[in-house]
Protein backbone atom coordinates (compact mmCIF):
# COMPACT_ATOMS: atom_id res chain seq x y z
CA UNK A 1 0.00 0.00 0.00
CA UNK A 2 1.38 3.40 -0.96
CA UNK A 3 -0.61 6.59 -0.49
CA UNK A 4 0.85 10.04 -1.11
CA UNK A 5 -0.82 12.84 0.87
CA UNK A 6 0.51 16.28 -0.09
CA UNK A 7 0.18 18.65 2.87
CA UNK A 8 -1.40 21.90 1.72
CA UNK A 9 0.21 23.73 4.64
CA UNK A 10 3.10 24.48 2.28
CA UNK A 11 1.02 25.24 -0.80
CA UNK A 12 1.67 28.55 -2.58
CA UNK A 13 -1.72 30.22 -2.04
CA UNK A 14 -1.04 32.78 -4.77
CA UNK A 15 -1.47 29.89 -7.23
CA UNK A 16 -4.01 27.80 -5.36
CA UNK A 17 -6.19 26.40 -8.13
CA UNK A 18 -3.27 25.51 -10.46
CA UNK A 19 -1.50 23.75 -7.60
CA UNK A 20 -4.58 21.75 -6.58
CA UNK A 21 -5.16 20.85 -10.23
CA UNK A 22 -1.60 19.50 -10.41
CA UNK A 23 -2.21 17.42 -7.30
CA UNK A 24 -5.50 16.17 -8.78
CA UNK A 25 -3.69 15.07 -11.95
CA UNK A 26 -0.86 13.36 -10.05
CA UNK A 27 -0.39 9.99 -8.34
CA UNK A 28 -1.52 11.52 -5.04
CA UNK A 29 -4.84 10.15 -3.79
CA UNK A 30 -5.14 12.14 -0.55
CA UNK A 31 -4.85 15.80 0.44
CA UNK A 32 -3.49 16.38 3.95
CA UNK A 33 -5.10 19.37 5.68
CA UNK A 34 -3.50 20.63 8.90
CA UNK A 35 -5.81 22.41 11.32
CA UNK A 36 -4.01 24.38 14.06
CA UNK A 37 -5.62 26.55 16.73
CA UNK A 38 -2.69 28.49 18.20
CA UNK A 39 -3.15 26.66 21.55
CA UNK A 40 -2.45 22.97 21.01
CA UNK A 41 0.41 24.04 18.74
CA UNK A 42 1.95 27.52 18.42
CA UNK A 43 0.60 28.22 14.94
CA UNK A 44 -2.71 29.00 13.25
CA UNK A 45 -3.98 27.62 9.96
CA UNK A 46 -7.33 27.02 8.34
CA UNK A 47 -10.90 26.50 9.45
CA UNK A 48 -13.77 24.52 7.90
CA UNK A 49 -14.74 27.05 5.20
CA UNK A 50 -11.42 26.67 3.43
CA UNK A 51 -11.85 22.88 3.56
CA UNK A 52 -15.15 23.37 1.70
CA UNK A 53 -13.14 25.08 -1.03
CA UNK A 54 -10.76 22.11 -1.30
CA UNK A 55 -13.74 19.79 -1.39
CA UNK A 56 -15.06 21.70 -4.43
CA UNK A 57 -11.66 21.76 -6.15
CA UNK A 58 -10.75 18.11 -5.65
CA UNK A 59 -12.25 14.65 -5.44
CA UNK A 60 -9.25 13.33 -3.54
CA UNK A 61 -9.63 11.95 -0.01
CA UNK A 62 -9.50 14.90 2.42
CA UNK A 63 -7.30 13.83 5.30
CA UNK A 64 -7.82 16.30 8.15
CA UNK A 65 -5.17 16.43 10.89
CA UNK A 66 -6.60 18.25 13.90
CA UNK A 67 -3.91 19.96 15.98
CA UNK A 68 -6.48 21.67 18.20
CA UNK A 69 -7.37 21.48 21.88
CA UNK A 70 -11.01 20.55 21.35
CA UNK A 71 -11.35 17.93 18.60
CA UNK A 72 -14.67 16.72 20.03
CA UNK A 73 -16.29 20.08 19.40
CA UNK A 74 -14.79 20.78 15.98
CA UNK A 75 -14.48 17.38 14.23
CA UNK A 76 -18.19 17.27 13.25
CA UNK A 77 -17.85 20.75 11.71
CA UNK A 78 -14.91 19.61 9.57
CA UNK A 79 -16.83 16.47 8.59
CA UNK A 80 -19.76 18.62 7.53
CA UNK A 81 -17.28 20.71 5.49
CA UNK A 82 -16.04 17.65 3.56
CA UNK A 83 -13.44 15.76 5.64
CA UNK A 84 -13.13 12.09 4.63
CA UNK A 85 -10.75 11.24 7.46
CA UNK A 86 -10.16 12.84 10.85
CA UNK A 87 -6.93 12.36 12.77
CA UNK A 88 -6.88 13.54 16.37
CA UNK A 89 -4.17 13.85 19.01
CA UNK A 90 -4.27 11.51 22.00
CA UNK A 91 -3.05 14.35 24.26
CA UNK A 92 -6.46 16.02 23.98
CA UNK A 93 -8.09 13.25 26.04
CA UNK A 94 -7.88 12.41 29.75
CA UNK A 95 -8.82 8.77 29.38
CA UNK A 96 -9.03 5.85 26.97
CA UNK A 97 -12.80 5.66 27.46
CA UNK A 98 -13.18 9.26 26.24
CA UNK A 99 -11.09 8.41 23.17
CA UNK A 100 -13.23 5.34 22.47
CA UNK A 101 -16.41 7.39 22.76
CA UNK A 102 -15.01 9.95 20.29
CA UNK A 103 -13.86 7.26 17.82
CA UNK A 104 -17.40 5.82 17.88
CA UNK A 105 -18.88 9.25 17.17
CA UNK A 106 -16.53 9.74 14.22
CA UNK A 107 -17.32 6.30 12.80
CA UNK A 108 -21.03 7.06 13.12
CA UNK A 109 -20.33 9.98 10.76
CA UNK A 110 -18.80 7.50 8.29
CA UNK A 111 -15.31 8.94 8.25
CA UNK A 112 -12.02 7.18 8.59
CA UNK A 113 -10.47 7.72 12.04
CA UNK A 114 -6.81 8.32 12.77
CA UNK A 115 -4.95 8.73 16.04
CA UNK A 116 -1.63 10.44 16.61
CA UNK A 117 0.55 12.04 19.26
CA UNK A 118 3.42 14.47 19.61
CA UNK A 119 6.85 12.81 19.35
CA UNK A 120 7.43 12.80 23.13
CA UNK A 121 4.08 11.26 24.11
CA UNK A 122 4.21 7.66 25.35
CA UNK A 123 2.27 5.47 22.92
CA UNK A 124 1.23 3.27 25.88
CA UNK A 125 -1.39 5.95 26.64
CA UNK A 126 -3.36 5.00 23.53
CA UNK A 127 -2.32 1.40 22.82
CA UNK A 128 -5.76 0.21 23.92
CA UNK A 129 -7.55 1.97 21.07
CA UNK A 130 -5.34 0.72 18.24
CA UNK A 131 -7.82 -2.00 17.34
CA UNK A 132 -10.50 0.65 16.76
CA UNK A 133 -8.79 3.10 14.43
CA UNK A 134 -8.27 3.13 10.66
CA UNK A 135 -4.99 5.03 10.73
CA UNK A 136 -2.08 5.67 13.06
CA UNK A 137 -0.09 8.80 12.31
CA UNK A 138 3.52 8.92 13.45
CA UNK A 139 4.65 12.54 13.82
CA UNK A 140 8.28 12.77 12.72
CA UNK A 141 8.53 16.44 13.75
CA UNK A 142 7.05 18.49 16.57
CA UNK A 143 3.63 19.44 15.15
CA UNK A 144 3.08 23.10 14.26
CA UNK A 145 5.23 23.99 11.28
CA UNK A 146 6.25 22.69 7.88
CA UNK A 147 9.86 22.52 6.73
CA UNK A 148 11.40 20.88 9.84
CA UNK A 149 13.91 18.01 9.77
CA UNK A 150 12.78 14.42 10.10
CA UNK A 151 13.34 12.94 13.58
CA UNK A 152 14.95 9.51 13.22
CA UNK A 153 13.20 8.28 16.38
CA UNK A 154 10.00 8.11 14.30
CA UNK A 155 11.38 5.03 12.52
CA UNK A 156 11.31 2.94 15.70
CA UNK A 157 7.77 4.07 16.38
CA UNK A 158 6.72 3.06 12.86
CA UNK A 159 8.30 -0.38 13.38
CA UNK A 160 6.48 -0.74 16.70
CA UNK A 161 3.10 0.10 15.14
CA UNK A 162 3.83 -2.28 12.26
CA UNK A 163 4.67 -5.13 14.67
CA UNK A 164 1.61 -4.40 16.79
CA UNK A 165 -0.74 -4.59 13.81
CA UNK A 166 0.81 -7.86 12.65
CA UNK A 167 0.74 -9.32 16.15
CA UNK A 168 -2.90 -8.39 16.87
CA UNK A 169 -4.33 -8.42 13.33
CA UNK A 170 -5.15 -4.70 13.44
CA UNK A 171 -6.18 -3.05 10.20
CA UNK A 172 -4.89 0.51 10.53
CA UNK A 173 -2.73 2.22 7.96
CA UNK A 174 0.50 3.77 9.21
CA UNK A 175 1.09 7.36 8.14
CA UNK A 176 4.17 9.52 8.66
CA UNK A 177 4.16 13.32 8.77
CA UNK A 178 7.07 15.76 8.98
CA UNK A 179 10.36 16.17 7.15
CA UNK A 180 9.50 13.70 4.40
CA UNK A 181 11.72 13.85 1.31
CA UNK A 182 13.10 11.26 -1.12
CA UNK A 183 15.51 9.87 1.50
CA UNK A 184 13.40 9.90 4.65
CA UNK A 185 10.43 8.50 2.69
CA UNK A 186 12.56 5.47 1.78
CA UNK A 187 13.46 4.85 5.43
CA UNK A 188 9.84 5.27 6.53
CA UNK A 189 8.58 2.85 3.87
CA UNK A 190 11.18 0.28 4.88
CA UNK A 191 10.01 0.65 8.48
CA UNK A 192 6.39 -0.10 7.48
CA UNK A 193 4.69 3.14 6.45
CA UNK A 194 1.73 3.15 4.03
CA UNK A 195 0.85 6.85 3.83
CA UNK A 196 3.44 9.56 3.19
CA UNK A 197 2.54 13.14 4.09
CA UNK A 198 4.84 15.69 2.49
CA UNK A 199 4.46 19.45 2.45
CA UNK A 200 7.53 21.50 1.61
CA UNK A 201 9.18 18.70 -0.39
CA UNK A 202 6.25 18.72 -2.84
CA UNK A 203 5.05 22.32 -2.86
CA UNK A 204 8.39 24.15 -2.80
CA UNK A 205 9.32 22.44 -6.08
CA UNK A 206 7.78 20.86 -9.15
CA UNK A 207 4.62 19.37 -7.64
CA UNK A 208 3.93 16.47 -10.00
CA UNK A 209 7.60 15.54 -10.30
CA UNK A 210 8.04 15.33 -6.51
CA UNK A 211 4.86 13.28 -6.09
CA UNK A 212 6.04 10.96 -8.86
CA UNK A 213 9.39 10.56 -7.06
CA UNK A 214 7.69 9.58 -3.80
CA UNK A 215 5.45 7.20 -5.73
CA UNK A 216 8.41 5.48 -7.37
CA UNK A 217 10.44 4.78 -4.22
Is position 25 annotated as part of the catalytic site?
no
At residue 45, φ and ψ (nearest 5 deg) are -130, -120
Q: Does 32 bind ligand DX5 (CB under 6 A)?
A: yes
Stretch that binds ligand DX5, among 3-11, 48-56, 74-82, 101-109 (CB under 6 A): 3-11
Is position 34 annotated as part of the catalytic site?
yes
Q: Does 191 bind ligand DX5 (CB under 6 A)?
A: no
Q: Does 63 bind ligand DX5 (CB under 6 A)?
A: no
Residue with the CB atom nearest ligand DX5 in the bound state = 199
CB 166 within 8 A of CB 192: no
Q: Does 99 bind ligand DX5 (CB under 6 A)?
A: no
CB 57 within 8 A of CB 65: no
At residue 175, φ and ψ (nearest 5 deg) are -120, 145
By CB under 5 A, the residues from 57 to 86 that bind Zn ion are: 65
- Closest contact distance (angstroms) between CB of 137 and Zn ion is 7
- Closest contact distance (angstroms) between CB of 126 and Zn ion is 17
**One of 141, 177, 191, 198 touching Zn ion (CB under 5 A):** 177
Which residues carry out catalysis? 34, 177
Residues that bind Zn ion (CB under 5 A): 34, 65, 177
Amino acid sequence: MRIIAPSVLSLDYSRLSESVQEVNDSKATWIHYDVMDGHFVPNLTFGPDILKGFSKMSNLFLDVHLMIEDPVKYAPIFIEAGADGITFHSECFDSVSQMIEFIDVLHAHNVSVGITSKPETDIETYKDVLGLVDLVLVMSVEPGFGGQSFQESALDKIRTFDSLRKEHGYNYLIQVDGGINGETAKDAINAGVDVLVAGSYIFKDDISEKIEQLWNI
